[in-house]
Amino acid sequence: MTYFVAETAADFTEIARPCGHWDSFRRLFAVLPPPNDARDWVALTDAALPVDSLTSWVTTTRAGAVVTFLGVVRDHAEGRDGVNAMTYEAYEEPAQRVMSEIVGEARRRWPDLERIALLHRVGDLAVSEPSVAVAVSSPHREEAFAAARFCIDTLKESGPIWKQEHWAGGSDWARNELPIKPVARSTASQSSKASATLGRGA
């Protein structure tokens, strides 16, 4: 079961996109804790990411490996130093759908995965604040590493989420944004490939 967390307010906020036109975006509120029986935790929120609880939630008795990744705001960007903050905006429903597709595809590729968390922040973030979190547990490390890498890489190229950089001289949308790609589908499981390189331990 996938548990998606996203609470929205009735009001819409007008935000200018890099392409120059205006679009409507909903405000997202606090991440709620997932139920204990959920296998997947997918969230888009304007609250601080619950990074301290990720590891404990994703760990199960069957898991021999837990891999976590945090993307944090840095103080520079491509061709730009002195970044002091970042604003993330997302098309809410398409972003939710893509995030769920990514988790589903990870499970198709690595069927033995235990739990997956894919959380993304929207709104204003300061330097060093986490903007995205991925956590994956599995019986073996190879699958956990591969699935976590797949989740963050695919979210970066397929998620309708944009960032605006702020510095002392002004603000602008990130220069290295690329066209959004559909989530790549695989018909073959990656588990057999991973299992061939693993020993008895994690």
Torsion, Cα of 106, 112, 114, 116 (10° steps): -10
| Model pLDDT for residues 135-192, shown as the tens digit of each residue | 999 999 999 999 999 999 999 999 999 999 999 988 887 755 666 788 888 655 665 4
- Residue for token pair 């060093």: 128
> Tokens representing 15?
């935000």
pLDDT at 199: 46
| Phi-psi label, residue 151: left if phi above 0, alpha if psi -120 to 50, beta otherwise | alpha
> Do the beta carbons of residue 147 and residue 75 sit within 8 Å?
no
Taking 70 as the threshold, does the pLDDT of residue 4 lie above it? no
pLDDT at 8: 32
pLDDT at 180: 72
pLDDT at 82: 92
Q: What share of the chain is helix, strand, coil (3-state, %, to 5)?
A: 25, 40, 40
User: If you classify domain 2-183 with CATH, what class do you get?
Assistant: alpha beta
DSSP 52-96: HHHHHHH--TT-SEEEEEEEE--SEETTEE-EEEEEEEE-HHHHH
What span, in angstroms and rounded, lies between the C-alpha atoms of 54 and 194?
A: 24
What span, in angstroms and rounded, lies between the C-alpha atoms of 110 and 142?
A: 10
Q: Residue 167's Cα: distance from chain center in Å?
A: 25
pLDDT at 140: 98
Question: Does residue 125 or residue 6 have the better pLDDT?
Answer: 125
Question: Does residue 36 or residue 148 have the better pLDDT?
Answer: 148
pLDDT at 117: 96
Taking 80 as the threshold, does the pLDDT of residue 52 lie above it? yes
> Tokens representing 54?
């990720």
Q: What is the mean pLDDT of residues 103-132?
A: 97
Give the residue from 36, 59, 33 showing the smallest Cα distance to 114: 59
pLDDT at 181: 80
HSE (CB half, 13 Å, CA atoms) of 66? Answer: 14
pLDDT at 80: 81
| Model pLDDT for residues 72-86, shown as the tens digit of each residue | 999 998 778 999 999
* Per-domain residue ranges of the chain: 2-183
Taking 70 as the threshold, does the pLDDT of residue 39 lie above it? yes
Q: What is the mean pLDDT of residues 32-47?
A: 83
- Per-chain mean pLDDT for the chain: 80
